[in-house]
């Protein structure tokens, strides 16, 4: 029996209702390691060029990594990959919880889904077996209700469910995959892809625990979690969760406010982690939030997830839908000028209940609000809903209308970029998208290397694809482990910062392929350093990988993402930032007046391409680079690519 992985990949053809098990060899696992890279392998092989994201020919890959299910912090993550209906580029989204580990225990490393079922079904994987079952009775249900029904019908409370909600069924372009009713594979619309296939859920259960090659060394890694907890500050991170960064972000001038026009939100204390912990988490009345108001993922000692509950009033919210992350507090909060914590908790729950990405949803509403303020969208468009900044009731109402594609929600369900195309009237000037994906809550004007990553990242603006600028100076020992020894001044956008962006992007890409948590393994604040990640892989797998090999897995994944886009005819022209980031200086606070210089930025982008060995004219990876990463087959097997990649 292999270590770490199960050695089984399940292929599902929903059109034919056929299931097949593939057993890849060890070389395959060592090349891709799981998660994103593994999913891309199948998506590149099995989708035709130019595939419509909603056609049966789109392939949705759900992949764990070689560490998933071994009892160490941060390993229970699953990556979903398919062509994105939001961006028309490659889509990629990670999520945690208990589902990923349980899927491994059910006897499978990954599921590759193609076709379209003639009627709603769910996939039931348990104890090494799998079958498709009717889901007619689940279609239309919210995630919480569907999960309850499944537990009842399978007569097992310990099943784990990864599913779409009504938003995914309605093909909302930023709908998510949801597990535990509160964890999301949020970004790039993977829920809509699953919805287009008439697949309501994947349900897993099993006891097939993965084997560990070197239990002694593995135990050392487990013990290290306790040792590292305080010096890394991850104990505080666990207590206050990601919302703990809200106030520091504001102080640094980097809390996106009023649809990214400012980095300064006067009411930041109303929506920060301290307030959430003290006044809103379940159990706060008895000062018992640590027991009732926090949650975790399988075997993680950080426990950073929030659980909030509102018993009455217009924003009544069930604790089963979790609590908001920093990103959500920002997108539904400061982006929209909203400081009503109850309203944000409620909007977060609505997204989990209907299955939507809180970043794209909140940011799309913020865009509509700016358009309203500028007189570009009026009551005639919205059906009478007033969308001025700060209107919490309208924000919650619109969120629900988007999920149901009702009224004005029908247009916003397309995502802000497509909505701007539909509405016209210059509304595109207020977009904050890259490749059609709404920007997350870290500001490129303040963290400059992120500006290039937001633009060049193959699946659109993303904050988890590289380390952020301040990390270079603050964590010299860890940066040294990945060859970064020359930190630059704040706001620098030069060659060295592009090296920082690319190398940390390779590490993040490896993290997303091993499918581990970006708060647990990384080169800055995380619980474990890059070298400790290498040790963990070797302890579990019995391999002898080094830092170079891990970074190469990441580089391989990045180039696979990029090659997918090249195949779809997407290159340098798509590597852009929202206009306002170059044209409109930020207003107020620490970042008052900050704006990106377009000339300087273009030079940095070209430096980044050269470092990546991508063509400066077209933005496509070079054939030399593809071949050096063992990806010659990608070009050879795709007619369209042999013209783009030379």
Summarize as ranges the residues that interact with another protein (CB under 8 A): 230-233, 236-237, 239-240, 242, 244-248, 251, 269, 272-274, 325-327, 359, 440-442, 447, 463-464, 467-468, 470-471, 474-475, 489-490, 518-519, 524-525, 590
Give the burial string for 113-124 (b: 16+ CB within 10 Å, else e): bbbbbeebbbbb
Partner from another protein, ligand SF4, none contacting 26, C-beta within 5 to 8 A by type: none
Q: 317 forms bridges with which residues in the sheet?
A: 310
The stretch among 152-160, 197-205, 295-303, 629-637 that binds ligand SF4 (CB under 6 A) is 295-303
Q: Rounded to the nearest whole angstrom, what is the least distance from the CB of residue 62 to ligand SF4 in the complex?
A: 18
Q: Which residue has the tokens 């799309």?
A: 364
Q: How far apart are CA 400 and CA 347, in angstroms?
A: 8
The stretch among 116-124, 143-151, 246-254, 303-311 that binds ligand SF4 (CB under 6 A) is 303-311
Q: How far apart are CA 527 and CA 230, in angstroms?
A: 9
The stretch among 128-136, 153-161, 299-307, 431-439 that binds ligand SF4 (CB under 6 A) is 299-307
Q: How far apart are CA 305 and CA 144, in angstroms?
A: 18
Partner from ligand SF4, another protein, none contacting 500, C-beta within 5 to 8 A by type: none
Q: Rounded to the nearest whole angstrom, what is the least distance from the CB of residue 557 to ligand SF4 in the complex?
A: 20
Partner from ligand SF4, another protein, none contacting 50, C-beta within 5 to 8 A by type: none
Q: Rounded to the nearest whole angstrom, what is the least distance from the CB of residue 328 to another protein in the complex?
A: 8
Answer yes or no whether residue 296 interacts with ligand SF4 by CB under 6 A: yes
Q: Is 109 exposed, middle or buried (0-12, 13-18, 19+ CB in 10 A)?
A: buried
Q: How far apart are CA 332 and CA 579, in angstroms?
A: 22
Q: What are phi and psi of 44, to 5 degrees?
A: -65, -35
Q: How far apart are CA 252 and CA 442, in angstroms?
A: 11
Q: Rounded to the nearest whole angstrom, what is the least distance from the CB of residue 243 to another protein in the complex?
A: 9
Among 90, 113, 184, 520, binds ligand SF4 (CB under 6 A): 520
Q: Rounded to the nearest whole angstrom, what is the least distance from the CB of residue 247 to another protein in the complex?
A: 5
The stretch among 121-129, 169-177, 300-308, 638-646 that binds ligand SF4 (CB under 6 A) is 300-308
Alpha helices in 174-292 (DSSP H): 190-196, 215-229, 234-240, 246-251, 273-275, 289-292
Q: Which is nearer to another protein, 181 or 246 (CB)?
A: 246
Answer yes or no whether residue 297 interacts with ligand SF4 by CB under 6 A: yes
Partner from ligand SF4, another protein, none contacting 300, C-beta within 5 to 8 A by type: ligand SF4
Answer yes or no whether residue 304 interacts with ligand SF4 by CB under 6 A: yes
Answer yes or no whether residue 74 interacts with ligand SF4 by CB under 6 A: yes
Q: Using N-to-C axis directions, what is the helix angle for 530-541 and 215-229, rounded to 10°?
A: 150
Q: Which is nearer to another protein, 362 or 619 (CB)?
A: 362
Q: Please report, to the nearest 10 degrees, the dihedral formed by the alpha carbons of residues 512, 532, 625, 633 taken in order.
A: -60
Answer yes or no whether residue 300 interacts with ligand SF4 by CB under 6 A: yes
Is the separation of the CB atoms in 193 and 112 below 8 Å?
no
Q: Rounded to the nearest whole angstrom, what is the least distance from the CB of residue 274 to another protein in the complex?
A: 6
Q: What is the end-to-end Cα distance of the chain in Å, rounded?
A: 41
Q: Rounded to the nearest whole angstrom, what is the least distance from the CB of residue 137 to ligand SF4 in the complex?
A: 32
Answer yes or no whether residue 104 interacts with ligand SF4 by CB under 6 A: no
Kind plus residue range of the DSSP H or E element containing 627 = helix 623-628
Among 450, 517, 561, 612, binds ligand SF4 (CB under 6 A): 517
Among 30, 217, 303, 579, binds ligand SF4 (CB under 6 A): 303
Q: How far apart are CA 618 and CA 644, in angstroms?
A: 8
Partner from another protein, ligand SF4, none contacting 305, C-beta within 5 to 8 A by type: ligand SF4
Among 519, 528, 564, 609, binds ligand SF4 (CB under 6 A): 519
210 secondary structure, DSSP code: P
Alpha helices in 96-208 (DSSP H): 99-105, 143-153, 166-169, 190-196
In three-state secondary structure terms, 24 is coil
Q: How far apart are CA 42 and CA 62, in angstroms?
A: 10
In 3D, which of 60, 74, 96, 297 has the Cα closest to residue 201? 60
Q: Rounded to the nearest whole angstrom, what is the least distance from the CB of residue 508 to another protein in the complex?
A: 11
Could you list the residues that contact ligand SF4 (CB under 6 A)? Answer: 73-74, 96, 296-297, 300, 302-305, 517, 519-520
């Amino acid at each position: 029996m292999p270590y770490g992985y199960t050695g089984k990949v399940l292929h599902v053809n929903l059109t034919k209702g056929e299931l097949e098990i593939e057993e890849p060899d060890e070389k395959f696992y060592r090349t891709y390691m799981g998660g994103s890279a593994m999913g891309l392998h199948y998506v590149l092989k099995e989708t035709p060029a130019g595939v419509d994201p909603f056609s049966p020919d789109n392939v949705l890959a759900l992949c764990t990594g070689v560490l998933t299910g071994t009892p160490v912090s941060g390993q229970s993550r699953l990556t979903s990959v398919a062509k994105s209906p939001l961006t028309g580029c490659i889509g990629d989204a990670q999520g945690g919880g208990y589902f990923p580990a349980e899927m491994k225990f059910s006897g499978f490393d990954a599921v590759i889904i193609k076709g379209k079922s003639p009627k709603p079904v769910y996939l039931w994987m348990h104890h090494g077996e799998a079958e498709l079952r009717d889901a007619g009775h689940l279609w239309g249900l919210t995630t919480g209700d569907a999960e309850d029904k499944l537990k009842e019908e399978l007569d097992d409370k310990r099943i784990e469910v990864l599913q779409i909600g009504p938003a995914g069924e309605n093909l909302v372009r930023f709908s998510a995959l949801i597990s535990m009713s509160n964890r999301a594979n949020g970004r790039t619309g993977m829920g809509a892809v699953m919805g287009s296939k008439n697949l309501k859920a994947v349900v897993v259960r099993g006891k097939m625990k993965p084997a560990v090659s070197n239990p002694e060394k593995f135990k050392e890694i487990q013990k290290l979690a306790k040792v590292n907890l305080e010096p890394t500050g991850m104990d505080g991170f666990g207590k206050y969760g990601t919302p703990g960064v809200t106030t520091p972000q504001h102080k640094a001038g980097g809390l996106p406010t009023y649809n990214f026009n400012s980095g300064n939100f006067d009411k930041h204390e109303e929506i920060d982690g301290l307030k959430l912990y003290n006044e809103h988490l379940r159990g706060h009345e008895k000062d018992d939030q640590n027991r009732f108001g926090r949650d975790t993922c399988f075997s993680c000692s950080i426990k950073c997830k929030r659980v909030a509950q509102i018993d009455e009033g217009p924003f009544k919210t069930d604790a089963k839908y979790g609590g908001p992350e920093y990103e959500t507090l920002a997108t539904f909060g400061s982006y929209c000028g909203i400081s009503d914590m109850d309203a944000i908790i409620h909007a977060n729950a609505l997204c989990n209940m209907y299955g939507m990405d809180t970043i794209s949803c909140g940011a799309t509403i913020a865009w509509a609000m700016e358009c309203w303020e500028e007189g570009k969208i009026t009551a005639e468009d919205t059906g009478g809903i007033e969308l001025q900044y700060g209107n919490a009731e309208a924000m919650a109402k619109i969120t629900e209308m988007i999920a149901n594609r009702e009224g004005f929600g029908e247009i916003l369900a397309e995502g802000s970029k497509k909505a701007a195309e539909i509405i016209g009237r210059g509304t595109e000037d207020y977009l904050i998208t890259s490749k059609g994906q709404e920007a997350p809550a870290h500001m490129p004007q303040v963290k400059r290397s992120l500006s290039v990553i937001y633009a060049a990242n193959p699946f659109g603006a993303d904050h988890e694809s590289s380390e952020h600028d301040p990390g270079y100076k603050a964590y010299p020992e860890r940066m040294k482990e990945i060859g970064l020894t020359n930190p630059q001044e704040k706001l620098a956008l030069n060659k060295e910062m592009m090296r920082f962006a690319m190398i940390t992007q390779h590490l993040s890409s490896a993290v997303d392929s091993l499918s581990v948590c970006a708060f647990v393994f990384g080169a800055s604040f995380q619980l474990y350093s890059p070298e400790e990640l290498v040790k963990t892989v070797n302890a579990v797998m019995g391999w002898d990988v080094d830092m170079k090999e891990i970074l190469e897995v990441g580089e391989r994944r990045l180039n696979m993402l990029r090659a997918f886009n090249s195949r779809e005819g997407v290159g340098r022209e798509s590597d852009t930032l929202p206009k306002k980031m170059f044209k409109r200086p930020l207003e107020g606070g620490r970042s008052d007046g900050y704006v990106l210089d377009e000339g300087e930025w273009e030079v940095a982008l070209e430096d980044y391409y050269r470092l990546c060995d991508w063509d400066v004219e077209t933005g496509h990876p070079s054939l030399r680079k593809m071949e050096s990463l063992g990806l010659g087959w990608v070009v050879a097997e795709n007619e369209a690519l042999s013209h783009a990649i030379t």
